[in-house]
Homo-oligomer: A and B are copies of this chain.
Amino acid sequence: MTNKQVRPAIDRDHELGLLRQMLLIRRFEEKCAELYSVTKIRGFLHLYIGEEAVSVGVMGSVAPDDGVVSTYREHGHALARGIAPGAVMAEMYGRHEGCCRGRGGSMHIFDAATRFYGGNAIVGGGIPLAAGLALADRMQGRQRLTWCFFGDGAVAEGVFHESMNIASLWRLPVVFVCENNLYAMGTAIRYAQAVTDLASKGAGYAVASEAVDGMDVLAVEAAARRATEQVRGGNGPYFLECRTYRFRAHSMFDTEQYRTKDEVEEWRKRDPITFLTSRLKEHEALDDAGLASLEGSVAEEVAAAVAFAEGGSWEPVEELTRFVCSDRSNG
């Protein structure tokens, strides 16, 4: 991995903020898993637990008017981007009050205010959309960036290759963030990629690339800043590989036959939340009481989200065929 920097001096408030965001994602998703088991949430549910440092580290560099394109494993991206947890939870309940009125569910979180363009359940399906959003910005002379998240598995899809080439050729302001958690569902990266050093793939498209420790939120933050500078400078896209791990199963149906408990345990030792907590404690920026109060406030926020979802209503069945075409008055 490139560019691993000397650990910066502590920035208490900032780092406590990062910790809180990671905790929010973690607790939110633990709640989702619970709710899934009592069938409040249905369909597919893909948890981000273990990978929180990536979205939280990256989102610090995402400017308010930047765009984000995500995957079906996007609760972490959505929350770190600032979408209201209640709107996300209500969506997973299938409520009218959900951010997509219950039509999208867990895999399709969208939000206009934060320019969050989904939630895409086709692996790699969002990659060209990100390039297109960036093209629109470029053609309209806007300075904003588009951030595109996808997994290691998506790198095998042809659309990754086509989109990297186009983005580079046209010098589009996109940051490609590859969340390499070493598995695509049950397929380890060594069975899916002839070259497992994904960051090295940028060279084939003249795209500046780096790999970063995705369990270290500060390292991710620094890398995202470097990406921003590069891309805002008009030098075309950036490819950022974040090496991470999912602690939980791929989805709620996965029996995890394809990896060992030991391997998971090894990675759990590098839990990004524990990592940052320890650092803050070492620097006496956080004590047990402080952590407990942080956890308390996060728990409240999650509970409020659940309450919001529980209190929601159902979209009337008469509206079933709405949004197949735009309401023409919107046209």
Contacts and interface: CB of A to CB of B under 8 A. Distances in A.
A62 interface: no
Contacts of A206: 194-195
B191 A195 contact: no
A161 interface: yes
B157 A162 contact: yes
Interface string A68-105: 00000000000000000000000000000000000000
A158 B205 CA distance: 13
A230 interface: no
A277 interface: no
Interface stretch (A136-144, A196-204, A313-321): A196-204
A159 interface: yes
Contacts of A165: 156, 193-194
In the complex this chain forms, how many copies of it are found?
Answer: 2
A192 interface: yes
A199 to B, nearest CB: 11
Contacts of A192: 169
Contacts of A201: 204
Interface residues of A, number: 23
Contact of A162 (B156, B168, B205): B156
A158 B157 contact: yes
Nearest to A124: B158
Contacts of A193: 165, 169
A200 B195 CA distance: 14
A207 interface: yes
A323 to B, nearest CB: 30
A165 B191 CA distance: 11
Nearest to A164: B194
A156 B205 CA distance: 11
Contact of A169 (B194, B203, B204, B205): B194
A160 interface: yes
Interface string A147-166: 00000000011111110110
The 9 residue pairs across chains A and B that have the minimum distance between CB atoms: A158-B158, A161-B161, A168-B194, A204-B204, A169-B194, A194-B205, A194-B206, A158-B162, A201-B204
Interface of A: 156-162, 164-165, 168-169, 191-195, 200-201, 203-207
20 contacts: A156-B165, A157-B158, A157-B162, A158-B158, A158-B159, A158-B161, A158-B162, A160-B161, A161-B161, A161-B162, A165-B193, A165-B194, A168-B194, A169-B192, A194-B205, A194-B207, A195-B203, A195-B205, A200-B203, A203-B203
